[in-house]
Structure 1
Amino acid sequence: MAGGSLAGHHALVTGGSRGIGRAIAAALAAAGATVTVLGRDAEALDAVVQAGEAHGFAVADVQDRDAMAAQIRLAAAERGPIDLLVANAGAAVSKPFLRTAPDDFAGMWSLNVMGVVHAVQATLGAMQQRGFGRIVAVASTAGLKGYPYVTAYCAAKHAVLGLVRSLALETARTGVTVNAVCPGFADTDLVTRSLDEIVRNTGRSRQDALSELTRHNPQGRLVAPSEVADAVLWLCGERAGSVTGQAVAVAGGEV
């Protein structure tokens, strides 16, 4: 492994039951980390554990600060202190701007931004006390540029990168690094739902909607979740200790 073995480290992956989150959990486990996946669907999370892609799971909504903190404390007590945090949980709302309600913006903020905040606030203090930690937020190319029909999502992901860059400066001398990976449109159920929403809200055909997404990638394809997982794996490794405050695009040259 490029970043070295992760044996002896406990990793928490939010939104770890499917898509990019599950691919990240599997990659971390294969590299030797003890992995806890967190999400809202206990059955889906247990399936990840049964597949050998994680060692335990925690059920909580990342938008619920107290529930998150309680589950993280329990996971740390059962499987050891968490020193690798991958804040992956997120979702997108696809609507034309004039049909995007204030509640849509608030929902995107609550899930995509505060979900990261709650996870970091529940783990960072202990990382700093031990003098080691890796925090990776799964953002998006939507945090690096704009896209039509997802203004609320883009605004939230831009905020995630601001959080990452600021927090990296606060923690620069503590042994903790804070970075983001920014996938382009990936082959996940989130993109499938986005395609459904684009078709429903714009009247375009599904093939047109898919072509709109893939045309942004110079390679002309959706990104594989495993490709995002490889970037996260490197950022979590010992050899990435001088890399902090970065937004690593995994997008086929899009940005």
Structure 2
Amino acid sequence: MTDDRIAVVTGAASGIGKATGEHLTELGWRVVGVDLRESPFERSVTLDVTDREKYRAEVQAIELEMGPISLLASAAGYDLEMPIEDIDPDTWDRMFEVLLGGSINGCAAVLPHMKARGAGSIVIVSSELGIAGEELYAAYASAKGAVNGFVKALALEAIEYGVHVNAVAPGPTDTPLVDGSQWRDPEYLATLPLGRLVRPEDIAGTIALLADQDAYFVGEILSPNAGAVI
């Protein structure tokens, strides 16, 4: 593509976010990495995505200093395996604050600029568990399910301004987040038609596809999951 498109990628220091930033860089995008830690991209922003005012200020600075943001890839997050009776209110609140609230804050920051220009893409990383659920993942699956609903609603709101909003809902992905989990068990891997976990670069490629302004995707939730859910 061109070499002047700017992407803001959250969760960019590791995992899916880092793979997405690397893939977009290879495709000619200028990438701003957002994370609690430094990220290895043209511009690294240290930010907690739950801080709406700082998020908005950083987006404003990017627009002024680098140019128009064409893509927000919202991948910041974490998971949690815990019986529901052990999940206290603070844990529930934090899960939704990061997974749903972080995505909402990013959209609130970039959308006014995209709507004014009549173009832009937003891709939010959800999860297959937000579609199919999983025992001991009630908090995580609930937050990701809420993300899916948010994407559907926002897509209808934004498309009249030429802004495409979509989501990617990966299955268990080969990142440190799944180390020591059931997703690494050979018995589980044997149930996958692909025979392996989804890789971060698989998700990055899906995000790049959805980011393409020529692709006619509106409110889609694509789920690259190695055949775990068909």
Q: What is the TM-score when the length of structure 2 is the normalising length?
A: 0.94
Q: Percent identity among equivalent residues? A: 34
2:162 aligned with 1:175: yes
- Residue-by-residue CA offset, 1:142-173 (whole Å, 9 max, x unaligned): 11111111110000000000000001111122
Q: CA RMSD in A?
A: 1.5
- Tell me the equivalent position of 1:16: 12
Work out the CA distance in 1 between the residues paired with 2:87 and 2:189: 24
Offset at 1:78? 2.1
- Tell me the equivalent position of 1:186: 173
Work out the CA distance in 1 between the residues paired with 2:81 and 2:105: 25
- Tell me the equivalent position of 1:201: none
2:223 aligned with 1:249: yes
Offset at 1:220? 3.1
- Tell me the equivalent position of 1:39: 35
In structure 2, give the amino acid aligned to 1:236: A
SS for the counterpart of 1:90 is coil
- Tell me the equivalent position of 2:107: 120
Q: Which runs of 5+ in 1 are unaligned?
A: 49-53, 199-207
Find 1:95's aligned residue among 75, 82, 92: 82
Work out the CA distance in 2 between the residues paired with 1:19 and 1:66: 26
- Tell me the equivalent position of 1:77: 64
In structure 2, give the amino acid aligned to 1:40: L
Work out the CA distance in 2 between the residues paired with 1:6 and 1:213: 41
Work out the CA distance in 1 between the residues paired with 2:28 and 2:183: 39
- Tell me the equivalent position of 1:238: 213
Contact 2:7 2:70 in 1 (8 A): yes
Q: Which runs of 5+ in 2 are unaligned?
A: none
Offset at 1:75? 2.0
- Tell me the equivalent position of 1:214: 189
Work out the CA distance in 2 between the residues paired with 1:32 and 1:236: 13
Work out the CA distance in 1 between the residues paired with 2:2 and 2:14: 22
Contact 1:136 1:180 in 2 (8 A): yes
- Residue-by-residue CA offset, 1:167-226 (whole Å, 9 max, x unaligned): 11111221100000011111112222xx3xx5xxxxxxxxx6622753663323211100
My pick for the range that moved more, 74-83 or 164-173, is 74-83
- Tell me the equivalent position of 1:130: 117
Change (3 A) 1:128 1:26: same
- Residue-by-residue CA offset, 1:121-157 (whole Å, 9 max, x unaligned): 0000110110100000011101111111111000000
Work out the CA distance in 1 between the residues paired with 2:188 and 2:9: 26
Contact 1:179 1:246 in 2 (8 A): yes
Change (3 A) 1:78 1:214: farther
Q: What is the TM-score when the length of structure 1 is the normalising length?
A: 0.85
Offset at 1:95? 0.8
In structure 2, give the amino acid aligned to 1:96: P
Contact 2:121 2:213 in 1 (8 A): no
Task: State the aligned residue count.
Answer: 228
Contact 1:216 1:254 in 2 (8 A): yes
Change (3 A) 1:6 1:161: farther
- Residue-by-residue CA offset, 1:39-97 (whole Å, 9 max, x unaligned): 1113xx1xx1xxxxx21111110011112112222222221121200011011111112
Equivalent residue runs for 1:138-153 within 5 Å: 138-153=125-140
Contact 2:47 2:54 in 1 (8 A): yes
Contact 1:6 1:28 in 2 (8 A): no
Contact 2:172 2:183 in 1 (8 A): no
